Amino acid sequence: MPGPDAKAELRKVLRARRAERGEAERTRAGEALAGHAASLGPGPIAAFVGIRGEPPTLALLAALHARGVRVLLPLLRADLDLEWAVFDGDPAGLAEGLRGVLEPPGESLGLHGIAEAALVLAPALAVDGAGHRLGQGGGSYDRALTRTSAPVLAVVFDDELLESVPVQRHDRPVGGTLTPAGGVRRRL
């Protein structure tokens, strides 16, 4: 089983690649993700606001909200665990929380708010065909995903679908991906 060094090295490479993406490319990716909103079902959907080079998700969140989907967004706690709150559809109302995470202003649904979700869209730096997800390294989503039985799609750029991702015992697999060009791809 690969150690944390393999994960740290891959994170470094992928973060550098993300930093090289231009604003126009990121904008196109965000619009493409929004184009897949109808394929994500009626919800509720636990999602996230893409920050620091992540695929931009605000257009997707707006498209989901416009369809009447209840969208839950994470509230990052000091211990790096995640509580959840309802997104009211107004990106201007999002406030910067810990580590720059953009959070809705509403009341917290607590740690188990994710259990409401019929689908979870999780951030990732990369995913492989076996559903191994490489996150940012804080373990927030690995902990949160233990509190839901909903299917999980990792949201990544198309070139972040890799042949292999280092995995450790605590890592939670995902059931598929959502990418700008590929849309929803479920793992068999």
Q: Which residue has the higher pLDDT, 26 or 173?
A: 26
Residue 54 has pLDDT above 60, yes or no: yes
The residues near 77 (Cβ < 8 Å, ≥ 6 apart) are 83, 98
In a domain, 113, yes or no: yes
pLDDT band at 4 (very low <50, low <70, confident <90, very high): low
DSSP letter for 55, please.
P
Counted domains in the chain: 1
Neighbours of 121 (CB within 10 A): 24
For residue 8, what are the domain limits? 4-183
User: Can you tell me the distance from the alpha carbon of 50 to that of 175, in angstroms, rounded to the nearest whole number?
Assistant: 20
Q: State pLDDT tens for residues 145-161.
A: 999 999 999 999 999 99
pTM: 0.92
Per-chain mean pLDDT for the chain: 91
In a domain, 96, yes or no: yes
Q: Are 146 and 172 in contact (CB under 8 A)?
A: yes
DSSP letter for 172, please.
P
In a domain, 47, yes or no: yes
In a domain, 51, yes or no: yes
Alpha helices by DSSP H, listed for the chain, are 4-19, 23-34, 58-66, 140-144
Read off the CATH number of the domain in which 100 is found. 3.40.50.10420
Mean pLDDT within 15-41: 95
In a domain, 79, yes or no: yes
In a domain, 188, yes or no: no
Q: What is the pLDDT of residue 63?
A: 96
Q: What is the pLDDT of residue 169?
A: 78
The residues near 104 (Cβ < 8 Å, ≥ 6 apart) are 73, 75, 85, 86, 87, 88, 93, 94
Q: State pLDDT tens for residues 80-120.
A: 899 999 999 888 888 888 887 889 988 999 999 999 999 99
Which of 2-6, 54-58, 69-73, 163-167 has the lowest average pLDDT?
2-6
Cα angle 59, 17, 95 (rounded to 5 degrees) comes to 40
Residue 137 has pLDDT above 90, yes or no: no
